[in-house]
Structure 1
Amino acid sequence: MTTPGGEAFPPGVVFFPGASRSRPPKHGCRVDAAQPGAAIEARRMTSSPEPRRGTRFVITCIGVGLLAGLLSGLFGVGGGTVIVPLLVLILRFDQRLAAGTSLAAIVPTASVGVISYAVHGSVAWIPAIILAVGAVIGAQIGTWLLPKVSQTALRWAFVAFLVVVIASLFFIIPSRDAELELTWLSGAGLAVLGVITGILAGLLGVGGGIIVVPALMLLFGTSDLIAKGTSLLMMIPTAISGTVGNLRRKNVDLRAAAMIGLAACTTTALGAWIATLVDPFVGNVLFAAFLVFISVQMAMKAIRGRHQR
């Protein structure tokens, strides 16, 4: 069908004789036919509208960053367990966009955290590199296994693992003087731990700190501070690698990531400072409480996944 001037209408657009000749928008339109001969009312249709970039958006990103940075410095984790659900819940981010944005924000956050722990000599540099290499390899394996493994069963197994870790944190209190001695045996163990961490990250989307920090304390006997500082250093190359891939797939909101990351940098050092002040047992109790939160989150995902079948 064509207009009186010979112009072709796009598919799906209705022309009423006597209507005003306004060009419909490029992304589709909605026709209001209540009054024949009236002008076509067009509205741009989008499948997933972007979050509004107003004051609420800025305040939310800054608030999320401040909270994530504090937790990152205090527990040696990336903060994604807080960033992702808050971006989805408050700003209505798509799950993939939230995860990609969170990973990008972790890069500056973890960098500041490493500096904060390094000042106190609480970073094992070589072990962190071994863990990072293993995690990058493991993440590829996890991505490959993703369509082959039951997510519900895997989540429940991870919850069971966290429950064991939580219980252990109340009985095994590492000394603040305990260091991570690097031998051939411990080096091989770190490589295996890195691969396992990467696999679980690829399968479940969980951050490495949730696994690495308790593993270094319980299995390798390191102090809680060295475990946290080493965990943060391990995250930097893995987060950069993941962010590069997410940028190619356009799964990163750079503006949100920048605001969250910069805000997190202001509280990461505070969290690391608090970690050095609290008693090791108190630190374990606080970390156990954080893991309880993660366990509940993972259990809820497993229950939802079971009901969606």
Structure 2
Amino acid sequence: MWEIIGLVALGLIAAVFGSIVGLGGGIIIVPVLILLGPELTGGAIDHATAVGTSLAVLIVTALASTLSYTKQERVDFRIGWLLFITSGPAAMAGSALTSKLQGDVFLLVFGGFMLLMAGLLVARDYMRPSARRWPVSRTYVDGQGVEHEYGFSVLPGLLIGFAVGLASGLFGIGGGSVFVPVMVLMFRFPPHVATATSMFVIFLSSILGTGVHAAMGETDWLLVLALVPGAWIGGRIGAAIAGRMSGKALLWLLRVTLILLAGRLILEGLGYF
């Protein structure tokens, strides 16, 4: 019973964080399943299964968030579908590569990636959006009636979509930690629009990535069932919170959490645990 409660809580907490900043929650679920697998399930969970399971849960988290953001009219579907052109195939490629990395190598690479994500989350508070005029111009009117103008370019966008999809499939995470800062800084996306559109792209990509992991037998469906209830509720809670606050305190909590988890993964990969 306590194991089930722990898994539901994990899905809830990860989804709340993920939805607020567009990460998707996998950045929390994967390392926790790897590091605390014996305590949560009674047995060790290998990295490929943790990734495949997280990606399946990510479908639910991203769908819940996307539905909430759609009601708030914050998802740029046109750009989201365009990004999916590269993020979808990349998610499948990343999923196929996960099991090719040995356990220790995966821990080191994933730990390094988490540190990079924490750095991006910090850097975006101190960097100014580009003033460049892009070929495609878009506008968004927020809840206060303020109009925001942002841009887009197809080729850089497709490259961003590829990076998001590859990270999603390889690590079982949303990739929003790459998507959101880049879209805000490069294309001047309003942060709420970047986060909402990120969750939509993650939803589409995670479906294809999950299909590959499932076909390779790298998805624990019982774990998915335990994590899904919390993920669904957390995805909607996170989207609601993101619409009412800047989330700066939660962002700092997430940054610290990422750094601590990354440090533990790297030390584990180096054989210190």
- Normalising by the smaller structure, the TM-score range is 0.7 to 0.9
| Contact 2:24–2:199 (CA under 8 A) maintained in structure 1 | yes
Q: Bigger shift: 92-101 or 136-145?
A: 136-145
Residues matched between the structures, number: 247
Match of 1:159 in 2: 115
Residue aligning to 1:74? 20
Give the Cα–Cα distance (whole angstroms) in 2 for the partners of residues 113 and 243 of structure 1: 18
Where do 5+ consecutive residues of structure 2 fail to align? 131-139
CA contact (8 A) 1:179 1:226 kept: no
* Shift in CA distance, 157/230, structure 1 to aligned 2, threshold 3 Å: closer
The residue number in structure 2 matching 1:21 is none
Listed as ranges, the gaps of 5+ residues in structure 1 are 1-54
Q: Compute the displacement of 1:85 (Å).
A: 3.1
Distance 1:93 1:178, change over 3 A: farther
How far has the Cα of 1:195 moved from its partner? 1.4
Contact 2:58/2:174 (<8 A) preserved:
no
Shift of 1:114: 0.4
How far residue 103 of structure 1 moved from its aligned partner, in angstroms, is 1.1
Aligned partner of 1:39 in structure 2 is: none
1:61-80 C-alpha deviation (Å, 9 max, x unpaired):
22222212322322222111
CA shift digits 1:55-104 (9 cap, x unpaired): 23322222222212322322222111222233340224513222212111
Q: Given the alignment, which residue of 33, 45, 69 partners 1:94?
A: 45
Does 1 or 2 have the higher relative contact order (CA < 8 Å, sep 6+)?
2
Contact 1:62 1:260 in 2 (8 A): yes
Structure 2 distance, partners of 1:126, 1:76, is 18
CA distance in 2, matches of 1:154, 1:58: 26
Aligned residue number for residue 73 of structure 2: 121
Cα contact 2:55–2:168 (8 A) shared by 1: no
Amino acid at match of 2:213: N
* Aligned residue runs from structure 1 range 228-243, under 5 A: 228-243=195-210
What code does the residue aligned with 2:194 have?
Answer: A
Greater displacement, 253-262 / 157-166 = 157-166
* AA matched with 1:169: D
Give the secondary-structure state (helix, strand or coil) at the position aligned to 1:277.
Answer: coil
Partner SS, residue 241 of structure 1: helix
Q: Tell me, in whole angstroms, the C-alpha distance in 2 between the residues paired with 1:256 and 1:153.
A: 24
Indicate how the Cα distance of structure 1 residues 197 and 225 shifts in structure 2: closer, same or farther if over 3 A, else same.
Answer: same
CA RMSD of aligned residues (A): 3.2
Within 5 Å, which residues of 2 pair with 1:133-282?
Answer: 133-139=85-91, 142=94, 152=108, 156=112, 159-160=115-116, 162-172=118-128, 177-182=147-152, 186-201=153-168, 204-279=171-246
**Superposed displacement of residue 241, structure 1:** 1.0
Conserved? CA contact 2:169–2:209, under 8 Å? no
SS in 1 for 2:148: coil
Return the alpha-carbon distance in structure 2 between the equivalents of residues 97 and 73 of structure 1: 23
Could you tell me which amino acid in structure 2 is paired with residue 73 of structure 1? S
Identity %: 24
Cα deviation, residue 108, structure 1: 1.7
Q: What are the superposed Cα offsets for residues 203-247 of structure 1, whole Å, 9 maximum, x if unpaired? A: 555431121112111222111111111111011121111211222
Give the distance between the partners of 2:227 and 2:117, measured in 1 at CA. 30
Tell me how far 1:140 sits from its aligned partner. Answer: 5.4
- Distance (whole Å) between structure 2 residues aligned to residue 65 and residue 166 of structure 1: 24
**Aligned partner letter, 1:127:** I
Partner letter of residue 196 of structure 1? A
* Structure 1 residues 70 and 257: CA distance shift in structure 2, 3 A: same
Rounded to whole Å, the distance in 1 between the matches of 2:113 and 2:29 is 24
Assess, with a 3 A threshold, how the Cα gap between structure 1 residues 298 and 136 changes in structure 2: closer, same or farther. Answer: farther
- Check 1:265–1:141 CA distance in 2 against 1; reply closer, same or farther (3 A cut): closer
With structure 1 as the length reference, what TM-score do the two structures score? 0.68
Contact 2:12–2:231 (Cα < 8 Å) also in 1: yes
Provide closer, same or farther for how the CA distance between residues 161 and 275 of structure 1 changes in structure 2, counting only shifts above 3 A.
closer
Matched, 1:62 2:29: no
- Asked if structure 2 preserves the Cα contact closer than 8 Å seen for 1:109 and 1:262, the reply is no
Max radius of gyration: which structure? 1
1:278-308: per-residue Cα shift (whole Å, max 9, x none)?
A: 13xxx35533542342244334433443458
Higher strand share: 2
Query: 1:103 aligns to what?
Result: 55
Q: State the Cα distance separating 1:161 from its structure 2 match.
A: 6.3
Q: Per the alignment, in what secondary structure is the counterpart of residue 169 of structure 1?
A: coil
TM-score calculated relative to the size of structure 2: 0.76
